[in-house]
Each structure stands twice: as C-alpha cells, then as structure tokens.
Chain A
Amino acid sequence: MQQVKIYGFGSFFNNKSNFHDIDILILHSNTSIDSCNFAKFCKDFIISNIPQSDITMLSEPEESNNSFIKKSRAYFIGEVLEQSANENLINILSYINNY
C-alpha cells in the first residue's frame, strides 16, 4: 500500500499576507515507480483543486540526502494513504484552504 506525507513551506505558510504561490512537498516512500506514481496522483489532485500550488515531489531517500524539509522549514500537514486517498486529500485541501 502506498502512502505519502504532505508538507507545507514557503511564503504562504510563513507569511500569508504576501505570498506568490502555495508551496507543497509531497514526500513519498521510496524511488519505485509505484511510489512515484502515487505521488503524481496526489499532486494532480491537489493542483486540480488549488491551481496556485507549487508542488515538489521527493522520495524519503531523496529528501534524506538533500535535507529539503529542514532547508525549506517545511512542516507536516498530513498523510495520504492509498486506501483512503480521496478522503485524506480532501482533508488536506480543507486544512490549506482554511489556513
């Protein structure tokens, strides 16, 4: 079963009054094509609902090597499990929209 973690970073989450776009990180489990495809599914879902989102996708090993979360000061928003993806994504969209 695939799963991703969603993080927010950048001006929208740090200084909401002056933001250019909504930066989101989709952290997926590994570098397999299935894991990448699930990340792309989540990306497409978010973009279709939040067109001004700017989404980065990284696997956990990739993120671990470049410390993206630390460098971008991203913080955890929520998790998306394959078996409940739509419900989880709707909750994340709601969180962002109400942020």
Chain B
Amino acid sequence: MPAHDDNFPWMSYYGNYNFFVDRMKSHNKVQNVHAINKSCYEIALSNGNKLKVFICECYSFGLAEFYETIEKLGKLNAIIINSNWCGYTLEAKKHCRDQEVGLYDISGFMAALNMDKYWLYLTDREKIEFRKR
C-alpha cells in the first residue's frame, strides 16, 4: 500500500488519523486532543503543557522534509510518521532532537509522552545507531 499522495501534508492513505487520535486519547498523560486541521493537532498534557503535533505519511521523512514542514507550518513540538510503510531518517531524528522537536512513529510518541524531555526519546534501535556515530 503506498503512502498517500498530496506531497504536502502527505495525508493518510485513508484520509484521516483516527487511529492516532484514539491512541492519544487513551494515554494517561494526555488530557485533550484538539484537531487544528487534518494533519495538525494540539495535545494538552496533564502537566499543563500543550504540544503542537504534525502527523503525516511520508515514505522516508528526511531533513529536507523537516525544513519544508517547518517552513509551511512554523514551530512544532513533535512530528509523527504514520503507517508501517513510512519512516524517517536518523539524520532527521538527530536534527529534530537538537531542535527539541520529537520525531517518532506513533508507538514512539506514546513512550515519549512519559518523559519531560519528550524530544529525547529513542527507540532501542536508535540508541544503538546513535552510539555508533
């Protein structure tokens, strides 16, 4: 199954992010989920923080896509790559971390929300890869 077209904002193949919204609503650190538009959400956390989150389906979200996204949407707190067919590069992950922007798949974001510095979250594989560099 391909990632959906519409080169920006790379909307879901199914035209919605209902699964993501449901997962967010089930997280015990999340108080509220507000859709800013079809691809941007404001996630209100129980600690009072509000995160501006962009979700997309992009085959391989790289640095150029990060710059493109920020240029079009402004400052973000997190970027979520939906779908098992899509992913992101380690270079983009590292750059986002340096900018205090989280970059994850949905399960990574779920785990990261348990951390105060959520943008620092790494999967086990990423920890290994980052140690190699």
List residues of chain A with CB under 8 Å of any chain B CB.
Answer: 10-11, 20-21, 23, 26, 28, 31, 33, 35-37, 39-40, 43, 47, 52-59, 61-62, 65-66, 68, 72
CB distance from B34 to the nearest CB of A (A): 29
Contact, CB under 8 Å: B60 / A33: no
Taking the complex as formed, is B5 at the interface, i.e. its CB lies under 8 A from any CB of chain A?
yes
Taking the complex as formed, is B3 at the interface, i.e. its CB lies under 8 A from any CB of chain A?
yes
Contact, CB under 8 Å: A39 / B64: yes
| Contact A65/B89 with A54-B7, A56-B59, A58-B62 known, Cβ cut-off 8 Å | yes
| Contact A28/B5 with A56-B59, A61-B91, A65-B90 known, Cβ cut-off 8 Å | no
Complex CA gap A59/B68 in Å reads: 14
A68 partner, pick from B5, B60, B68, beta carbons under 8 A: B60
Contact, CB under 8 Å: A21 / B2: yes
The closest CB in chain A to the CB of B58 belongs to: A56
Taking the complex as formed, is B106 at the interface, i.e. its CB lies under 8 A from any CB of chain A?
no
- Give residues 3-46 of B contacting A (CB, 8 Å): 3, 5, 7
> How many Cβ-Cβ contacts under 8 Å join chain A to chain B?
69
Contact, CB under 8 Å: B5 / A58: no
List residues of chain B with CB under 8 Å of any chain A CB.
Answer: 2-3, 5, 7, 58-60, 62-65, 67-68, 87, 89-92, 95
Contact, CB under 8 Å: A54 / B60: no
**Interfacial chain A residues near B59, Cβ < 8 Å:** 23, 54, 56, 68, 72
Contact, CB under 8 Å: B5 / A62: no
Contact, CB under 8 Å: B3 / A54: yes
B5 partner, pick from A35, A37, A54, A72, beta carbons under 8 A: A54
Complex CA gap A21/B3 in Å reads: 10
**Interfacial chain A residues near B2, Cβ < 8 Å:** 10-11, 20-21, 23, 54
Contact, CB under 8 Å: A66 / B87: yes
| Contact A36/B67 with A54-B7, A66-B60 known, Cβ cut-off 8 Å | yes
| Contact A37/B67 with A20-B2, A54-B7 known, Cβ cut-off 8 Å | yes
Q: Which of B60, B68, B87 has the most CB of A within 10 A?
A: B60
**Interfacial chain A residues near B63, Cβ < 8 Å:** 31, 36, 59, 62
The closest CB in chain A to the CB of B90 belongs to: A65
